[in-house]
Structure 1
Amino acid sequence: MSEFVRLFEYKQLLSGRRAVPRADIIKRLEISPATFKRDIAKMRDQLHVPIKFDRDRDGYYIDQDNSNDNELPGLWFTQQEILALVTVQQLLSSLEPGLLGPKLKPLQARLEDLMDKHGLKQHDIAARLRIVHAGKRQVPPQLFEQAAHATMARKRLAIHHMNRQTGETQEREISPQRLVHYRDNWYVDAWCHLRDDLRSFSIDAISAMRVLEEQAKEVDPKAIDDRLGASYGIFGGKPKAWATLKFTPQRARWVKGERWHPMQESRVEADGSYVLSVPYADDRELVGDILRFGADVQVLGPLTLKRKVSKVLLESLALGIGDGGGQTSYAHIKDRD
């Protein structure tokens, strides 16, 4: 019997009007006297359950008059645990307001009651917890709910998905494998029956969705990780190369504490600069991340990545110093370089 089930049994045994003898509890729960002693101490000291022993009746009981009722069905919570649960609820709601929040309202109301009994206030958490979103794209609630339902119920989805690279929208049938929250946006990793391969779809790029009756195709989780998680960023695929980046000593103070990829390799140079290497299959997201560091990063390799970053920088510079007549001096910049 697990500890959770056993503690629930204590509640059932001791909540009645009569006091239950120790021997009866030990026999009913099939435990040793030492385990009984530890259980009673835990419920009193950690879970704050008012268990008392009545010498006249030679048994244990829960004192209902002094009970804080600090429980959800079958569970007892300490003040710290209640605070942690409410904080988690706030975090879940903030991931996508209007999507997860309504589903948690019954739990939220119960938690607020428990908080009041422990002297905690809901508005204090809101005032002390700030969650900042950057680059977040809006997802219609019904689309997220359908995607979540199909993923958990193991059903296929018929979707209209826009390829942002080409601007084209295609109808596809997919078998959702898992939901992914990445950089403030939601994706669904799925088996695409059109391409007969694994793909990652941004949910906000889906304009229509329908849950089908057909069972979803099951894909081994390791195969999903190998296919969609082996390379840098949200773009999947088998790594084609390793990007090696060198950050200045000043920028290294931040970057060396960051995790860019599970398989990343890094080292700190004698001058304090930081060299980071990550595998990638598609360089689009990687190039964008490199550019945001400006002069604080140098691409050491591979040469193709180094050239692409240089090209994008030159094109950006050309847009910024156009001659005012709609034409830029990009060619002149290239000649000078």
Structure 2
Amino acid sequence: MPAAARHSSAAKASSSPAASRSGVSRPAIWRVMEIHKIIRTGRHPNCTTLAREIEVTPKTIQRDITFMRDQLDLPLEYHPVKHGYYNTRPVTEFPILHLSRTDLVALFLARRALEPLRGTRLERMLSDSFSKIAEACPGEVSIQWHELDDAFSVKAAGVLAADVTLFGDLLDSIRATREVSFDYHKLTGSQPETRTVQPYHVGQIEHGWYLIAHDPARQAMRTFALQRISRLEMLKSKFTRNPAFNAHDHLGGGFGVWSYAEGAARSHDVCIRFEGYAARVVAERQWHPSQTIEKLKADGSLIEFQATLSGLEEITRWILSWGSKARVLGPQELKRRVQQEVAGMVE
């Protein structure tokens, strides 16, 4: 069955009054993609757990599962012991969107620009609109939408000019799981050095675009600034992507671009006291997933910021940016780092 016909059937199969529990409708193709993505994790979800995650009724999920199994020929079965759905064989094909690469990059970047609105009604409304646009886009390149969500993200606002050709080539290499070779100029290096890596993810972090890739020579994940990459070449050698990799988790332990190899990082419970304008600005934003903020004065002019981090490199710079309005309460290692930087500045 053609993709367009499948999408039409999916819409008919789930266009009943079954509204989501949150009062916001979910397009059929969006639900099907989400169900497929969740089942691929191997968690064996059932209709109740899927309905809770996707915010629709279990009856809607059951119709979607039936559609996926009967119309899309997906190998979905219910596990009688684990009480949830799973794929009886690996799934390499799935309903796809047809977009030119130019359309793809433009549409995806526009969609990801909604990240600051995540969780709001406006974000859900606009996301639904983007899904409908994507379904109607003809073009010359086929791409699975869920692959884009795995490959790209936006962590913070702000755009740094990037080479569009480089961006597109990295997109192709991530989708094709092909190794890439490039020259990379480290901040501390005097000359570029050649690197061969396995690209996993491109994200906008702290106002710049970065590639997260596995470096076989170093047996670790590494982060590369796109503006310092040159002479990129997609190699013929393919690699097997680690299914356990998650970009959010990879970056979650750090305070920005820095990430830490699993098992190599220590946990640091950071506590900083802010006053005046700094207290108000810090309290207005989500700086880290683990953060908690306690108001010490009712007017918000004195707060304590706490977070659990895997490293102290970037939090040190952040503290210094607030000058005398920030005071480190702990840990002792962070106090020492800040004191050394301030002493060096005085000298």
Tell me which interval the TM-score lies in, with the shorter structure as reference length. 0.5 to 0.7
Equivalent pair of 1:231/1:279 in contact (CA under 8 Å): no
Amino acid at match of 1:170: E
Structure having greater relative contact order (Cα 8 Å, sep ≥ 6) = 2
Larger radius of gyration: 1
2:272 to 233, 236, 245: 245
User: Per the alignment, do residues 215 and 294 of structure 1 end up closer, same or farther by CA in structure 2, a change over 3 Å counting?
Assistant: same
Q: Which residue of 1 aligns with 2:194?
A: 171
For the residue of structure 1 that corresponds to 2:185, the secondary structure is strand
- 2:310 is equivalent to residue 276 of structure 1: no
Q: Deviations over 1:247-301 (max 9, x none)?
A: 1154222211211111223322246421112233443322221111111111111
Verify: 1:264 aligned to 2:287, yes or no.
no
Q: Please, what is the CA RMSD of the aligned residues? A: 4.0
* Aligned-partner residue type, residue 275 of structure 1: E
Q: Deviations over 1:90-139 (max 9, x none)?
A: 959xxxxxxxxxxxxxx89x99xxxxxxxxxxxxxxxxxxxxx86x6543
- Shift in CA distance, 196/313, structure 1 to aligned 2, threshold 3 Å: same
Alignment check: 8 A CA contact 1:200 1:228 kept: no
1:309 corresponds in structure 2 to 338
Residue 192 of structure 2 aligns to a residue whose secondary structure is: strand
Q: Which runs of 5+ in 2 are unaligned?
A: 19-24, 26-106, 115-132, 138-156
**Residue of structure 2 in register with 1:297 after alignment:** 326
**Contact conserved, 1:252 with 1:274, CA < 8 A, in 2?**
yes
Assess, with a 3 A threshold, how the Cα gap between structure 1 residues 277 and 10 changes in structure 2: closer, same or farther: closer
Aligned to 1:160: 183
Gap change, CA 1:87 and 1:214, over 3 Å in 2: closer
How far apart are the structure 2 equivalents of 1:159 and 1:6?
Answer: 41
Secondary structure of the 1:258 match is: coil
Query: Partner residue of 1:196?
Result: 219
TM-score of the aligned structures, taking structure 1 as reference length: 0.53
Gaps of 5+ in 1: 12-28, 40-45, 47-84, 93-106, 112-132, 319-329, 331-337
Q: Name the counterpart of 2:229.
A: 206
Worse overlay, 177-186 or 224-233: 224-233
* Letter of the structure 1 residue corresponding to residue 332 of structure 2: L
1:233 to 232, 253, 256: 256
Alignment CA distance shift 1:10-1:171 (3 Å): closer
The Cα of 1:208 is off from its aligned counterpart by 1.8
Does residue 220 of the first structure (1) align with residue 243 of the second (2)?
yes
